[in-house]
């Protein structure tokens, strides 16, 4: 185990929810409460700005993430954003968007590093200086409450991978939930982000050493809300989400609180090279491995916490504990059809190469595996998902 994971394991304190949490009906109410103005930097997307913010004619400095490249944050994107937004041009950072925007804003709140690579590889310190307000517009990452910012970075070998920068100095100061903003989120990113939140709750629930009584409470509540939402979608189709958005965005926050303490695990660890190499969206790359990893856990260690998980899922979905994992996987298939890894560009040689990268770069996640992970077991999982 790496020393960072070891220090997290030693921390026996219960959850400290660092940000202050608010809920608003719409962007206008939020803007008024926080007196948004000239010295506020608002990082968002133009397609979120137009329907929800433009009408208020605020003097904030609006910056649209898409101007710096598509997809998830990368070393290049962060460098370009730093260059375009002078550090002294704002006092407060407001993140209004998906997990990618949340993660970028965390970096805009800290002292500028010498290079982004040095920041992610811990050669530069993380120093919190500016207030960050996080407003999620997807219902997945929980990034609004976490101490992690994920980016695609270059390893010393030159290969790219996803890496999480972890520091309590990047936890946003305030979180505002505005379910209204999720109305324009298309179905596919909605579904993959909601599955991501379910995976956060599951990995936290099964986390062998870092789980606590309060993280369990948040995991269970998140699972109940999300699975009820998925049941409605399974029965009535994608539009069933629209009058349940407040529940979904609340559940993803709960799941974020759970994994802040208990940690994510194998699903995230194994999906990171997939996202880093083939640019598979975060929720989707986790989903590609989730069902298989649960099956493997069930094969190796069906009793213990996994039995409690199966009873819980069985209670929520109305089936026997022994059928919980297949029933869950069948429900997820209705929410979002599962694709084999090769459809994302994953190559046969990755079956051997990815476990090496996971072992090297993702110890903080693999350490929390419900069944201890080995290279061989990871090879099997990738092969069976291939
Ligand atoms: N820091 C953490 O704790 C943490 C945890 C998990 C994931 N992540 C990171 O979060 C990112 C994934 O976040 P995500 O799943 O929210 O995806 P995302 O931020 O990439 O958003 C998904 C897509 O939906 C669009 N979108 C978002 N809100 C919208 C809205 N209201 N209307 C219309 N379109 C909208 C985005 O522009 C994007 O195209 C990844 O970069 C991942 O690494 C971070
Ligand atoms: Fe995630």
Helices (H), 85-212: 99-108, 116-120, 187-206
Return the CATH fold of 187-385. Answer: Dehydroquinate synthase-like, alpha domain (1.20.1090)
pLDDT band at 11 (very low <50, low <70, confident <90, very high): confident
Indicate which residue's Cα is closest to atom 22 of ligand 1: 189
- 190 Cα–ligand 2 center, Å: 13
pLDDT, residue 14, reads 77
- 197 Cα–ligand 2 center, Å: 7
Average pLDDT (44-51) is 97
pLDDT band at 305 (very low <50, low <70, confident <90, very high): very high
Is 90 exceeded by the pLDDT of residue 161? no
Tell me how far CA of residue 335 lies from CA of 20, 189, 237, 325, in angstroms: 32, 11, 8, 15
Q: Is 46 in the pocket of ligand 1 (CB under 6 A)?
A: no
The Cα–Cα gap between 48 and 148 comes to 24
Domain 3-181 has CATH 3.40.50.1970: yes
Q: Where are the domains of the chain?
A: 3-181, 187-385
pLDDT band at 3 (very low <50, low <70, confident <90, very high): confident
Beta-carbon contacts of residue 211 (< 8 Å; ≥ 6 apart): 204, 205, 261, 262, 305
pTM for this structure?
Answer: 0.94
pLDDT, residue 15, reads 78
Q: Is 136 in the pocket of ligand 1 (CB under 6 A)?
A: no
């Amino acid at each position: 185990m790496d020393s960072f994971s070891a220090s997290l394991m030693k921390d026996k304190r219960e959850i400290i929810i660092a940000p202050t949490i608010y809920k608003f009906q719409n962007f206008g109410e939020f803007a008024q409460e926080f007196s948004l103005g000239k010295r506020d930097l608002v990082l968002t997307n133009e397609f979120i700005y137009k329907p929800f913010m433009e009408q208020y004619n605020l003097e904030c400095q609006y910056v649209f993430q898409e101007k710096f490249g598509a997809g998830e944050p990368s070393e290049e994107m962060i460098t370009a954003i730093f260059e375009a937004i002078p550090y002294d041009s704002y006092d407060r950072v407001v993140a209004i968007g998906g997990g990618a925007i949340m993660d970028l804003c965390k970096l805009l709140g800290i002292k500028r590093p010498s290079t982004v690579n040095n920041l992610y590889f811990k050669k530069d310190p993380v120093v919190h200086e500016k207030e960050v307000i996080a407003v999620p517009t997807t219902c997945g990452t929980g990034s609004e409450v976490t101490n992690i910012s994920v980016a695609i970075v270059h390893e010393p070998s030159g290969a790219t991978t996803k890496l999480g920068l972890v520091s309590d100095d990047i936890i946003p100061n305030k979180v505002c939930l505005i379910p209204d903003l999720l109305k324009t989120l298309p179905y596919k990113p909605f579904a993959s982000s909601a599955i991501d939140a379910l995976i956060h709750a599951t990995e936290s629930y099964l986390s062998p050493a870092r789980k606590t009584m309060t993280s369990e409470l948040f995991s269970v509540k998140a699972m109940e809300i999300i699975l009820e939402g998925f049941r409605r979608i399974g029965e009535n189709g994608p539009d069933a989400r629209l009058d349940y958005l407040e529940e979904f965005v609340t559940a993803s926050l709960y799941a974020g609180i759970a994994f802040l303490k208990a940690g994510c695990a194998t699903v995230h660890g194994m999906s990171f090279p997939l996202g880093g190499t083939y640019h598979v969206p975060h929720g989707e790359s986790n989903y590609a491995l989730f069902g298989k990893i649960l099956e493997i856990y069930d094969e190796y260690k069906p009793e213990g916490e996994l039995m409690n998980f199966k009873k819980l899922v069985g209670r929520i979905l109305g089936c026997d504990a022994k059928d919980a994992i297949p029933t869950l996987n069948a429900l997820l298939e209705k929410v979002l059809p599962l694709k084999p890894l090769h459809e994302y560009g994953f190559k046969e040689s990755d079956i051997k190469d990815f476990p090496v990268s996971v072992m090297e770069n993702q110890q903080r996640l693999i350490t929390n595996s419900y069944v201890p992970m080995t290279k061989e077991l990871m090879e099997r999982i990738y092969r069976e998902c291939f």
